[in-house]
Amino acid sequence: MRAGKYAGLETELVSPPLRASLALYLGLLATTEVPADDLFVDAADLPQVLTATRLQQSPAEVPGSVSVLDRALIRASGARDLAELLRLVPGMLVVSDGNLTTVNYHGSNAAQARRLQVLVDGRSVYHPGFARVDWSDIPVAIEDIERIEVFRGPNTVSYGANALMAVINIITRLPHDTPGTRLKVTRGERGIADWYASQGEGWSSGDLRLSLSGWEDDGFDHDSEGRDARDDRRLNRLNLRVQQELDPSQSLDWQLALKEGTNQAPTSYERAAFPISFEPWEQDDEADVRARDYATSLRWNLERNPDHRLYVQGSLQHWERLREWRACEGQIAFSPQLYQLWSLSPRYVQLLGRNLRQGILTAPEGSAEQEALAGQVIGQVLATVDPATGTLAHSCGLINEDTRENRFDLELQDTISLSDGLRLVSGLSYRHDEGDSETHLGGTLDKDIGRAFGQFEWHLDRHWLLQGGAMLEHDSSAGESLSPRLALNYLFTPAHSLRAVYSEAVRSPDMFENDAQWSYRVRDLRPAALGRSEAWYFAHAQGSDDLEQEHIRSRELGYNGHFAELGLRLDVKLFDDKINDLISETLTLEEFMPTNDNSLHLRGAEGEADWQLSATDRLRLSYAYIQLDASHPKDERVSPRHSGSAAWLRDWGRDWSSSLIYYGADALNSYRFERLDLRLAKRLPLGSSQMELAGVLQQRLDDEPLGWSDNNYDERQVFWVTAELEF
């Protein structure tokens, strides 16, 4: 298999910078003797990961690359939100646009992060209607997280469409592990004001944890023109997790998550290319987004015997983004004839607007219908112009931009060991997605998704491990798809392996991309516009309803090793990913033309090392080198060629600890990014209780905007302190 499918891959991938990075890892392997004890390590004694195949596996057995951010690293990072933690993952790109954060793996359009599957304890939080993950709004407090597993590569075979590039699985702490009371307060510059409180209780056959938390800051200071940025964020969360043992072989796991908050954000209402109003249009500056979400899930676990177990999980989720605001525009913008003319040809409307700005009061050349409508619009313009000032009459009205999304998901999974060397996981799932938005979807849309999946893990002998699987998925809007994966691992020992992986994956267009009915109904117009108190804004867009799924074909060669006596873990991979039928266009009212005409070819290498140097020192390094060929310029510009992080965690003794972390990318959406984070903490015993005081300083080492030109701070550093009490 390697001689055929992977022939020529090394020559194709390895450029001079890449060879230098590989030489560092290979040199370490060549000069480091594998301790004799490693030859006898049992795989069961190694750390286990779950996200790759839905099977518990040691890192050396995984058919791909998995980054694990454990609780100690999460705490030492000092991060306040989930997206910041992902800067520690090689190849993961984090870009903010005001208070909206997008996370991409290996790139593609920075404004449209559509290609990651994000899970919280196995429940997808990827929005069904608008292909997004609201990172700051995920109703999980960082303090409740046990670890984050990131499968870096396509994994539709395990989690269905949208796991096109990577899977991020956020795993929360078990209630059994969090007894007692925890209180935490964070205060700092830029309006940082966070808090957290939890209570854990247990009884003879179960445990629960209830946590409440809040998060707040003022966002960026100013935009590219020096104006104050309106991107404050505020949210409150409630999380409840209950585990109940029914008998020695059965248990229930129930979770409930609630979140409410407000986000300051610009409206999506933009003045289209018909600028015949001689005064700038206005809108309500207090149009904050009110966010209200809830999610609940119930899992029944059955262990028939040590070699056979299954579960059934059902979940319900609801996302609400509510906003009504008042906008003002020239009355001609609410003309039914102009709306109809836009439906025929937005470009013709643009040409008409240009003529009117130049004082040309004749219809541009076009079809008879276009010229007739243009004549009526010109008459309406003349009727609404103030002859004394030459300005158009304006009207102001209310715009509703509410969106609601719902999901019901039911899944059955069966895991069985058929022999000492063969394991199988299989399952079925059904999901119903619904999106509701008068402005963006023209009402309510829904779709149904059915899945059947299966994967096997076959130890051919003590060294060779063959793995394969497929996901068959039927999407009522996108049709059927089959996503396969095949991997071969050579295990030098249970802790060291080489792997070769081939996989395919898909992403289905979301409701907005494929079926948008994007138009603004303006109510309560004052004064009435062209005799109407309610009208449609003339610019609008409609989805084509014929988009196809995006497809990726991925090849990977990698090494994973655990040098137990050195306390060193390594993972290195070469990758070659080709994405076809890519939807890359940024969707606006003026140019709403998503297509499958784009492609993306990603090649490169990445790796990470986690080294417990001693009982007091831990060093963690990550690096990614990416070569990118894209047919669309918005995909081309986002990916840095070089990016990575370096972290040093130290326990100084006497309950003092520190962490120093460097993050860098040579071009994060065309802007260089470098930052140094320092955290210093002191634990104070208070009788049977413990208090920790910590300070975090973030220092930007560059002087550029963060991802977008409007994201600017007045100062390059920010400082905050936390106080946490456990009793």
> DSSP letters along 231-256, please?
--EEEEEEEEEEEEEEETTEEEEEEE
Helix (H) or strand (E) holding 201: strand 193-203
Contacts of 448 (CB under 8 A, 6+ apart): 430, 431, 432, 433, 475, 476
Could you give the CA distance from residue 395 to residue 61 in angstroms, rounded to a whole number?
A: 65
For residue 133, what pLDDT is reported? 86
CA dihedral 559, 564, 567, 569 (to 10 degrees): 10
Q: Where are any strands of DSSP class E within 531-596?
A: 535-536, 541-542, 550-563, 568-582
Q: Is 559 helix (H, G, I), strand (E, B) or coil?
A: strand
The pLDDT, as a whole number, for residue 110 is 55
- Distance, in Å, from the CA atom of 11 to the CA atom of 689, rounded to the nearest integer, reads 59
pLDDT the model gives residue 338: 94
Axis-axis angle for helices 346-357, 368-384 (nearest 10): 40
pLDDT at 43: 52
User: Which pLDDT value is given to residue 12?
Assistant: 43
Helix and strand element counts for the chain (H, E): 11, 36
Q: How many of the other CB atoms lie within 10 Å of CB of 80? A: 19
Q: What is the pLDDT of residue 267?
A: 60
Partner residues linked to 212 by β-bridges: 197, 238
State both tokens at 510. 């979301």
* Cβ within 8 Å of residue 37, ≥6 positions away: 564, 565
Phi/psi for 158 (5° steps) reads: -100, -35
Could you tell me the two tokens for 336? 């039914």
Query: Residues 128, 139: contact at Cβ < 8 Å?
Result: no
Q: Helical H runs in 103-225?
A: 156-159
Q: Which of 473, 667, 638 is nearest to 551 (CA)?
A: 473
Contact 568, 559 (CB under 8 A): no
**What is the structure's pLDDT at 38?**
43
Residue 277 tokens read as: 């109003």
For the chain of 727 residues, list the mean pLDDT of each consecutive stretch of 10: 36 45 44 41 68 93 96 96 95 84 80 82 88 85 96 94 92 96 97 97 97 95 88 94 97 97 73 47 68 96 95 96 87 93 92 86 93 94 79 87 95 96 97 95 95 97 97 94 97 96 95 93 93 92 92 97 95 97 87 91 96 97 94 80 96 97 90 96 94 98 90 95 97
Distance CA 669, CA 672 (A): 8
Estimate the share of the chain in helix, then strand, then coil, as percent rounded to the nearest 5: 15, 50, 30
- Specify the pLDDT at position 703: 92
What is the C-alpha separation between 605 and 594, in angstroms, rounded? 31
Q: How far apart are the first and last CA of the chain?
A: 57
Q: What is the pLDDT of residue 278?
A: 36
pLDDT for 269 equals 56
Residue ranges and CATH numbers for the domains of the chain are 2-266+460-509+547-726 (2.40.170.20)
Q: Which residues are registered as beta bridge partners of 558?
A: 499, 573
Element (H, E) at 675: strand 671-686
CA–CA gap between residue 426 and residue 53 (Å, rounded): 10
pLDDT tens digits for range 580-608: 999 988 888 888 889 999 999 999 999 99
Contact 146, 169 (CB under 8 A): no
Give the closest residue to 65 by CA, choosing from 156, 152, 148, 147: 152
Strand partners, 466: 458, 488
Q: Which of the 8 DSSP states describes residue 25?
A: H
Residue 106 phi, psi (nearest 5): 70, 5
Question: Angle at Cα 429 formed by Cα 428 and Cα 431, nearest 5°?
Answer: 165
Prediction pTM value: 0.90
Amino acid at 260: E
Other CB atoms within a 10 A radius of the CB of residue 122 amount to 20
Which secondary-structure segment (H or E) carries 423? strand 422-437
Report the phi/psi class of residue 28: left, alpha or beta, with left for phi > 0 and alpha for psi in -120 to 50: alpha
CA–CA separation, 95 and 669 (whole Å):
8
Predicted pLDDT at 3:
38
- Helix, strand or coil for residue 533? coil
SS (H, E, C) 468-509: EEEEEEEECCCEEEEEEEEEEEEEEECCEEEEEEEEEEEECC
According to the model, what pLDDT value does residue 326 have? 85
Pairing state of beta strands 324-330 and 250-263? Answer: unpaired
Rounded distance between C-alpha atoms, residue 606 and residue 574, angstroms: 7
Of 29, 12, 21, 105, the closest CA to residue 495 belongs to 29
Amino acid (one-letter) located at 725: L
Cis peptide before 527 (omega within 30 of 0): yes
For 14, list phi and psi in degrees, rounded to 5.
-85, 100
* CA angle (633, 635, 641) in 5-degree steps: 105
Q: How far apart are CA 138 and CA 159, in angstroms?
A: 19
HSE value, Cβ hemisphere, 13 Å, CA-based, for 91: 31
Number of Cβ within a 10 Å radius of residue 12: 13
Torsion of CA 153, 22, 69, 233, to 10 degrees: -70
Structure tokens at 388: 């004394």
Decide if 620 contacts 609 (C-beta within 8 A). Answer: yes
